[in-house]
Chains A and B, each alone.
Chain A
């Protein structure tokens, strides 16, 4: 991707929108197939979607309102002030001014592995956490790049966006799971007799088979799409950080430094990995690249930043140093 950060931002937003749309379509198809396949009535799917949609939404509401506190607690984050961390607070203040958002709460995590995350449902209720390892390893310019990235997650409402996609994917999974259990453990024969009115018995049987196939495959594909959305939002946060700092170099250096660091962030796990600046689970990352990753490959992120200043992308020798580490 070349051009300006404006065009990168627009492309990332477009891509994540269409990906989310794919999940909506998938959900619609699954709902319709299940509804029609089991009852022969075209609108029956709506009822199922409604029920499982509500379940997924309700189970996500807790996460929406209290998720940030939970994540901060699990990560053993400590609140900092201008007295304890003046430079960090100053850098966050500067970027909050550039972004036009209120000052978020700032936390540090006592760990030598360099990483950071942002959480909070909107800019007024946002928190940013940085590891002490990151603070030690990066200089002011690089720290600006990373904070710009995290603040951009906040101002792009990424936490809310991810939750929305999560609700959709969760509904697909719930609906598919329930349906498959229902099909295999009985109850289906009786319901089909109500379709005699339609006279569409053959079509209904086909749709029912389709529903079973979809129920098996859809959760997997929805999850893949969810991961793709996560990667797009990471690219978006990188480009938005450049929009704030007007300095791709700082962020690029930060990424390179972090990629070279082999340490594992102890407080991170599979549930929280998607929130971090780079994937904190190095082992997991090494085994599942590409489609199964929450974060884009660091080399790709660096190359997109280099494209903004017209620099050449990383060559094979540079890549060799960084490859296998993310």
Chain B
């Protein structure tokens, strides 16, 4: 009789442990998915800011049409590449091109004193700076959540049951080879 009681207690403890492990893995995996969504949110923010910026500088910069055109085109490409909602190599490259075009634009703005002091432009510059930072921080946070999930997955005790329960490792955000090139800043 005693042996049966002990057996039941052991089973109960294992069941509770199993529930806790499962819930912990689910929570961590969801945080990773949320982080992916956050990156997309920040990228979209930048897409939305660009037209305002182009409009603000257009009047002053009649001679710099090609820089403005490059920015507008780069933005259109980035929006198209990101339409699928998934993080792809193509999207990363398109976003990188947009970063380069924006930096070229701000380099040129330096030559126009009226524009440099223009409150609108300054405010947009700060908004773009913060958006670039927010994109980086979202990616950093994504990596932190992936790290947490993978580590929990691969260590005791979750490692014993993770496979059968259907949890698999997630990949870190890694800059694509093209993205590792320094964006070209054109002063033309």
A residues in contact (CB < 8 Å) with B: 86-87, 90-91, 93-95, 97-100, 140, 244, 246
B residues in contact (CB < 8 Å) with A: 31, 35, 38, 42, 123, 126-127, 129-130, 133-134, 137-138, 140-141, 144-145
Tell me the bound Cα distance from A86 to B124 in angstroms: 11
Tell me the bound Cα distance from A114 to B110 in angstroms: 32
Distance to closest chain A CB from B43 (angstroms): 13
B126 near A86 with CB under 8 A, answer yes
Q: Which residue of B lies closest to A99 (CB)?
A: B141
B130 near A90 with CB under 8 A, answer yes
For the A-B complex with A99-B141, A100-B31 known, give 5 more contacts whose Cβ atoms are closer than 8 Å: A86-B123, A97-B137, A98-B141, A100-B145, A140-B129
- The dominant DSSP class at the B interface is helix
- Assuming the A-B contacts A93-B134, A95-B137, A100-B31, are A87 and B144 also in contact, with contact meaning beta carbons closer than 8 angstroms in the complex? no
Of all A-B residue pairs in the complex, the 5 with the closest CB atoms, nearest first, are A90-B130, A98-B137, A97-B137, A94-B133, A94-B137
- The dominant DSSP class at the A interface is helix
Distance to closest chain B CB from A5 (angstroms): 12
B38 near A97 with CB under 8 A, answer yes
Chain B residues with Cβ below 8 Å from A87 are: 126, 130
Q: Which residue of B lies closest to A86 (CB)?
A: B126
A-B contacts, 12 listed (Cβ < 8 Å): A86-B123, A93-B130, A94-B130, A94-B133, A94-B137, A97-B42, A97-B134, A99-B141, A100-B31, A100-B35, A100-B145, A244-B137
Distance to closest chain A CB from B46 (angstroms): 14
A100 near B130 with CB under 8 A, answer no
Chain B residues with Cβ below 8 Å from A90 are: 126-127, 129-130, 133
A97 near B130 with CB under 8 A, answer no
Tell me the bound Cα distance from A148 to B126 in angstroms: 19
Chain A residues with Cβ below 8 Å from B38 are: 97
B123 near A98 with CB under 8 A, answer no
